[in-house]
Structure 1
Amino acid sequence: MASQAEPYFASEADGSTIRPLALASWLFSVAVLVLIMIAVGGITRLTESGLSITEWKPVTGALPPLNEADWQAEFELYKTTGEYQNVSGPAGMTMADFKFIYFWEWFHRLLGRIIGLAFAIPLAWFWVKQAIPAGYKPRLVALLALGGLQGAFGWFMVRSGLSTEMTDVSHFWLSIHLLTAFLTFGGLIWTALDLRQLARGNARPSRLTGLTIGVGFIFFLQMLFGAWVAGLNAGLASNSWPLMQGQLLPNISWASGIWWTLTHDPFWLHFIHRWWAWVAAAALIVMAFRTKPLDRRASIALHAMLGIQILLGIATVVTGVELWIAVAHQGVGALLVGAYAWSAHVLGRAG
């Protein structure tokens, strides 16, 4: 007999039991792990830890150095990077300093491995038990592949900064890595919400509407600008708000060409990120108001995350990119993606 707390659907053809609520709970749990990883990724970036591990070892790399000889070997590899030779080394980095940044990069990669197992093992179990509803297997496999891509993009990002000429990773690869994490987080929530609806007897998955696609594009640009600001340390271009260096529009040099300035100049990117935020905020508020008659909780969540994110963005600037405020800004950014996915899902069900 089926539990009232866990509705299921029995297939007459093979006797399998479909349990959409169990699948939804699993996906929400993985989403929490992804959220933690996004926050740890922010710490890794802000502490300049990303280049401390110069090799990609998917299996053996799960263990940190276990003795001083191993630590020294890792430190010597790091000394070959442009970051050490031009930034960390001249600043007088000690072994203790190196162990600190190594920990955050190692922990970030370890979380990636844990998330992979937390997704792949239950997926295999649900698959064998024939507990996955019709039409959801391709979507779950796509989420698994997206997680794999996330790991690959992370390595490409690290590799982009390993030459002696570079003192940091490519902000393009950083943006790809971060935005893929946001996409994975949103996809997990969306799929879990679809499964919850299925458990309630609504078999039709939600769809993106014209409004949510438009708002999503505006929101995507804001996240892209934010990732570039992070990758280029452009948050340090100004520590005042709303003016930058006492003026609305900062002094921006176009001498290197329009394309380079639009994609590399820290003053321009800081400026566009802080003001495009209001365009994104207006779009998200419209979306939240459209959601309110259908699901007040989703509307409140979107409003709340948006307000907190704006305040954290301002606080990040005026504190000179204080570590924990900046990390909170990135973490709440992920929660805002989740709130957007929830609101978009509600509107997609009604459309």
Structure 2
Amino acid sequence: MLGKYSRLNTAIARQYIQDKGQHLRRKFSSQPQHQYKSYNYKENPIIFNRINEQYVIKGKERVVGWWLISLSASVFSIVILGGYTRLSKSGLSMVKWHPHKVGLPKNNEEWEQEFEEYKQFPEYYLFNKERGLDIDGFKRIYFVEWAHRIVARSIGALFILPFSYFLMRGYLQPKLKKSLFALLAFGSLQGVIGWWMVKSGLVDKNKTIELDKTPRVSPYRLTVHGYSAYIIYGVGVWLAMNLLRRPQEAVINLANMADHASMRKLLLRSAHGILPLILLYGFFTSGIQGRYAVNNYPFVGQNWFLTRNHFQGDIPFWQNFTENKIVVQVIHRTLGTLFALLALKGGYEVYKMKNLTPIARKAYWLILAAITLQICIGIGAIWYPSEIWIPNLHQAGALTVLTSVLFACHTCRKVDPRHMRNLLGKLKIDDPQAYERMMKGFNKKQLSKTEMDAMKKFYEGK
């Protein structure tokens, strides 16, 4: 009986495939044979797939990609938790680093011991003692810092266990292996950097050259720790998109290649220029509590911008740009405003690019939306500095802007040179005159001079 139904289902499936094939043949036969303005799989097949050549074996793209997405989401969450740890002044509650220890104190005696150790350090006897911090208050701030460290170790386990499994099963190709080993080393170093940062807040600030003598971690070490987390997050997101999104060769043809290259250059100017500087100054602003310095926007007190009086002359001039609260806050928000204006200008340029794929165009609009929201949250953090949820939300907004920029860059990334040679070879056979016209102006619009020379050498022997 089962064999009978199996044969029947096979016959039905075979007939369906034949009918579907006839329908597709009729559909494609009615279309122009060489259409470069719109993409279809018949005209633009993916012959070379770098995903399977360099990243993972065929069929394992999604499982590895979603694992990387989960890792990136975990890093996103720990960055937000780390921001709350700092804003709630919980980061210095654990005065020892025990990488092997995961549990909370088990009884009152252990809690008292932890509290007595905390009392030996400046944050307690210079700050929290006057506020009347008791054992219950200490438990609250201790728990926040403990949760931050436990989540960090959980991310380590989330990385190592599946990574080991993928290695044993042979899912990963050499390029992705190298990237993930580098990410593992960098993530392990992040734990050491975290303790190095905390340790800077357990010393007497009167013995340092820092301007602010209140007990807190060094803004320089905080910046290194936070920026490293952003790098880990960005690399994870980029690798995940490489696996989960279809190859760029599936959407790039001779008609839209120039506009995608123009958008890529537009994005790289911000991604490699002003955005990293904004993020850097965001950490310095956070590390020195710069949101309290000036609480009006767009003015700086009674002025439109910084004046000579805002700079301190009794310290090295460069230190004003890293520890002077007014200067650092104003630079950070000015860079953010400039970035928003440049993004609007870029939006007009993207609007004029008529051959962009829809996903690339929407990705740029997503950047504009993320920047607009982030500017609004940033202004709120300036106007209401005592509300810790606003600057914490601002940090989440920074990661959102970074994600949107990475996604937009990924929609217009470079294609495999072999794919471009195929497109040019096809054009040379189908329309020699169009090929000659394109090769004359190719360097200016679509390829660098090195790439153009390589194409000419391949096709013309020049």
TM range (shorter): 0.7 to 0.9
Name the TM-score, length of structure 1 as normaliser.
0.88
Equivalent residue for 1:44, pick from 70, 81, 85: 85
Q: 2:67 maps to which residue? A: 26
Q: 1:269 to 1:110 in 2, by over 3 A?
A: same
User: What is the aligned-residue identity percentage?
Assistant: 29
Q: 2:249 aligned with 1:194, yes or no? A: no
Pick closer, same or farther for the CA change 1:284–1:158 going to 2, 3 Å. farther
1:304 corresponds to: 369
- Tell me whether 1:109 sits opposite 2:174 in the alignment: no
| Partner in structure 1 of residue 297 of structure 2 | 241
* 1:90 corresponds to 2:155: no
Distance in structure 2 (CA, Å) of the matches to 1:209 and 1:111 = 36
1: CA distance between counterparts of 2:184 and 2:347?
Answer: 30
Q: Is the 8 A contact 1:289 1:299 kept in 2?
A: no
Shift of 1:84: 1.4
Q: Cα offset for 1:321?
A: 4.1
- After TM superposition, give the deviation of residue 211 of structure 1 in Å: 4.3
Q: 1:319 aligns with which of 384, 402, 419?
A: 384
**Match 1:65 to one of 63, 81, 105:** 105
**Higher alpha-carbon deviation: 83-92 or 35-44:** 83-92
CA radius of gyration, larger in: 2
CA deviation profile, 1:11-70 (whole Å, cap 9, x unmatched): 9xxxx765111111111111111111111111101011111111111121x111111111
2:340 is aligned to 281
Give the 3 Å change call, closer, same or farther, for CA 117–291 of structure 1 in structure 2. farther
How far does residue 263 in structure 1 lie from its aligned partner after superposition? 1.6
Counterparts of residues 137-286 of structure 1 (less than 5 Å): 137-165=177-205, 167-197=215-245, 211-216=266-271, 217-249=273-305, 251-255=309-313, 256-285=315-344
Given that residues 350 and 361 in structure 2 are in contact (C-alpha distance below 8 angstroms), is that contact kept between their aligned partners in structure 1? yes
Describe the superposition over 1:160-203 as per-residue Cα deviations: whole angstroms up to 9, x where unpaired: 1111336100000101111111111111110011112467887x
Match of 1:56 among 74, 97, 102: 97
Stretches of structure 1 that go unaligned for 5 or more consecutive residues are 1-7
Quote the Cα distance in structure 1 between the aligned partners of 2:248 and 2:170: 20
Distance (Å, rounded) in 1 between the aligned partners of 2:186 and 2:346: 27
Tell whether 2:397 aligns with 1:332.
yes
Instruction: Return the offset for 1:212.
Output: 4.0
The one-letter code matched in structure 2 to 1:188 is G
Distance in 1 of aligned mates of 2:346 and 2:64? 28
Verify the 8 A CA contact 1:80 1:164 in the aligned structure 2: no
Matched residue SS, 1:349: coil
Partners of 2:248 and 2:411 within 8 A in 1: no
The one-letter amino acid of 2:96's match is: E
Asked if the contact 2:248/2:414 (under 8 Å) is kept, the reply is no
Of residues 62-71 and 294-303 in structure 1, the stretch that sits farther from structure 2 once superposed is: 294-303
Alignment partner, residue 159 of structure 2: 119
Letter in 2 for 1:67: N
Give the root-mean-square deviation of aligned CA atoms.
2.6
Q: Residue 91 of structure 2: SS of its match in structure 1?
A: coil
1:348 corresponds to 2:413: yes
Range with greater deviation from structure 2 (72-81 or 34-43): 72-81
- Shift of the 284–108 alpha-carbon distance from structure 1 to 2, 3 Å rule, reads farther
Equivalent pairs counted in the alignment come to 336
CA distance in 1, matches of 2:182, 2:246: 20
Q: Which letter maps to 1:222? A: I
Output the amino acid matched with 2:231.
L
2:171 maps to what in 1? Answer: 131
Residue 113 of structure 1 deviates from its aligned partner by 0.5
- The 1:125–1:199 alpha-carbon spacing in structure 2 relative to 1, beyond 3 Å, is farther
Q: 2:76 aligns with which of 35, 50, 59?
A: 35
Question: What TM-score do you get using the length of structure 2 for normalisation?
Answer: 0.68
> 2 CA distance for matches of 1:42 and 1:301?
25
User: Secondary structure of 1:55's match?
Assistant: coil
Output the CA distance in 1 between the equivalents of 2:321 and 2:174.
Answer: 46
Contact kept? 1:242, 1:248, Cα under 8 Å? yes
- For the structure 1 residues 27 and 285, does the alpha-carbon distance in structure 2 shift closer, same or farther, using more than 3 Å as the test? farther
